Structure 1
Amino acid sequence: MLTISQLAAYAGVTVRAVRHYHQIGLLPEPERDRSGYRRYGAHAVVSLVKIATLADAGVPLSEVADLLEADDDTFSKAVQRIDAHLRDEIARLERSRSSIRKLAAGDALLLPADVVAYLDRLRNLGIAGPVLDGERDGWILMAARWPDRIREWMPGKMASLDDPRIVRLYRVLSMLFDIDLPHEPLLVEAADLMAALAEEAYRQDHTTQQETRDDAVPFDLLELLALETDPRATRLVELMRERGWDGWTRLERIDPPH
């Protein structure tokens, strides 16, 4: 006769597992002997080995009791059903692993490859922190709304990084989050750069396609994203209005105040 510790060791499980099987009715719990110990015989060892084997194979404990009592045909059908379920679960876990690998790779889970390449280019230019995070989140908003348009836009966006003014704008915006630097001069420089770029695009009539012009929601969200990220964005909007431009992500020409 075996103690509970000896029984558990023989079957390769923990004492805690044996007690759990007792609790849920899978393994009968023997009476205590005169010394106050529970003693287990050969049948208990066989039952516990069966339970542990089925549990290790992925059979839910709620189904183990029925399998222990099943005839050969019923047992075979149940095992086939459980095997099919396990294959489905393995496929689900593989999909989860794929998603986790994408997360580990950075932005690839949420964004098209073209946008990921653009963000990597920004990183290589030294852009990081809240500005890079805001850029990524902005593209998430855009990709969710116009997933089929991203590929059309990205070559122009990538080419824009060859313009030193745009690179400087990104760097100035990044420096705004350095608490040791005075903010107003950087805000003024950012506004000057943005106004100059907007004026140039305006003269060249670089208009947005009608599809995006008619859908203001993503642009409203981008504006809100900037304002939620840092209160200094509000000051930058004020400076842009002084220069004759309204907005943040989709600038509109206005008459500057006198």
Structure 2
Amino acid sequence: MITIGQLARYVGVSIKTVRVYHDKGLLPEPARDASGYRRYGANDAIDLIKIRTLAEAGVPLARIRELKSAPDEELQRALREIDDELTARIRGLRATQGRLRRLAAGRLASLPAEVGTHLERLARWGFTPRWVDLQRDLWILVFATHPDQAITLFRDQSEILADPALRRLFLDYDRAHDLDADDPRVDDLARRIAQATRERYGPDAPPELDAASEIPILIQGTVNASSPAWRRIDTLIRAQLNV
């Protein structure tokens, strides 16, 4: 028989943790002996190891209490589910670790090869370095937060830029960055972009991210914040398209 301090030390938890488990009804609290100490046996140590293992796996204490009294079949099923959840968490942690290592190496995130090729093409087409850098950063954000939808959005934009007339619009938009917001060219460009959007998509809306996502607002806010002219163009386009 051992004391609570010995029990805690052998199992690798604190005395406070053992007492919490007593209070939560997870570990029966033994009666005191003639010396006034509570003494624990091997079964207590085994039970405490089980509780600690489940708690470290992220199982809530209330669920652990239920599992302690569950039939063996239910317990085994629950343990398999917990194992699956741990596997998913480990996969997520490994992905996070990969992003952390890329960040340490100066690479915020990986982009598909076709996006890299597209960014190189932008420079050859005459887009400014500012525009290319902005596009790279925004695609990193989209692919990092919405990988399933990002490729559809990217390919739609890639198709647009493959059309010389539409590419001209984007080039004009790029160069409008330094215009005064009240420059007449801003209004004309917004009108042309709105018209091209209607011609390309008709009554259908262009493909976009999940409506519940805040990323589109963040992206447009980032673009608008970099240029008063771009901000006015966005406002005019939305008004003309009734967005």
TM-score normalised by structure 2 residue count? 0.51
Corresponding residue for residue 30 of structure 1: 30
Higher relative contact order (CA 8 A, sep 6+): 2
Offset at residue 90 of structure 1 (A): 3.5
Match of 1:39 in 2: 38
1:154 to 147, 151, 158: 158
Identify the match of residue 64 of structure 2 among 39, 61, 65: 61
- The residue number in structure 2 matching 1:15 is 15
Check whether the contact 1:4–1:15 (CA below 8 A) recurs between aligned residues.
yes
Change (3 A) 1:145 1:4: closer
Using the TM superposition, give the Cα deviation of residue 15 of structure 1 relative to its aligned residue in structure 2, in angstroms: 1.1
Q: CA deviation at 1:170?
A: 3.9
Shift in Å, 1:2: 3.0
Could you say if the C-alpha distance between residues 83 and 190 of structure 1 is closer, same or farther in structure 2, counting changes exceeding 3 Å? Answer: farther
How do 1:98-247 and structure 2 match up within 5 A?
A: 100=96, 118=118, 126-127=129-130, 148=152, 150-157=154-161, 170=174, 173=177, 186-188=178-180, 207-208=196-197, 210=199, 212-215=201-204, 225=220, 229-230=224-225, 233=228, 237=232, 247=236
Please list the CA deviations of residues 157-186 of structure 1 after superposition, one character each: whole Å capped at 9, or x if unmatched. Answer: 3788xx99967964773xxxxxxxxxxxx3
Displacement after TM superposition at 1:96 (Å): 3.9
Alpha-carbon distance in structure 2 between the residues aligned to 1:146 and 1:115: 11
Query: For the pair shown, which has the larger CA radius of gyration, 1 or 2?
Result: 1
Structure 2 CA distance for partners of 1:232 and 1:148, relative to 1, 3 Å: closer
> Deviation at 1:41?
3.7
Aligned-residue offset at 1:4: 1.6
CA drift at 1:19: 0.6
Q: What is the TM-score normalised by the length of structure 1?
A: 0.49
Q: Aligned residue for 1:256?
A: none
Alpha-carbon offset, residue 188 of structure 1: 3.8
Does the 8 Å contact 1:227/1:234 carry over to 2? no
Q: How far 1:189 sits from its partner (Å)?
A: 9.9
Alpha-carbon distance in structure 2 between the residues aligned to 1:40 and 1:132 = 67
Superposed displacement of residue 21, structure 1: 1.5
Distance across 2 between alignment mates of 1:158 and 1:190: 30
SS in 2 for 1:82: helix
Residue-by-residue CA offset, 1:91-123 (whole Å, 9 max, x unaligned): 543664587579767577xx9875676568879
SS at match of 1:247: helix
Within the alignment, does 1:80 sit opposite 2:76 as a pair? Answer: yes
Distance verdict in 2 for CA 1:213–1:147, change over 3 Å: farther
Alpha-carbon distance between aligned partners in 2 of 1:159 and 1:101, rounded to the nearest angstrom: 40
Q: Which residue of the partner structure matches residue 89 of structure 1?
A: 85
Give the length in aligned residue pairs. 210
C-alpha spacing 1:127/1:40, structure 2 compared with 1 (3 Å):
farther
Deviations, residues 50-105 of structure 1 (Å, cap 9, x unaligned): 332354155742234316xxxxxx43x23431232124314543664587579767
Distance 1:236 1:65, change over 3 A: closer
Residue 195 (structure 1) shift: 7.9
Q: What is the rounded CA distance, in whole Å, between the counterparts of 2:13 and 2:149 in structure 1?
A: 53
Shift of 1:133: 9.2
- Displacement of 1:14: 2.0
Whole-Å separation in 2 of the counterparts to 1:228 and 1:165: 16
Gap regions ≥5 residues in structure 1? 68-73, 174-185, 241-245, 253-258
How far apart in 2 are the matches of 1:138 and 1:34? Answer: 67
Percent of paired sites with the same residue: 22
Residue 40 (structure 1) shift = 0.9
Q: Residues of 2 paired with 1:190 and 1:112: CA distance?
A: 39
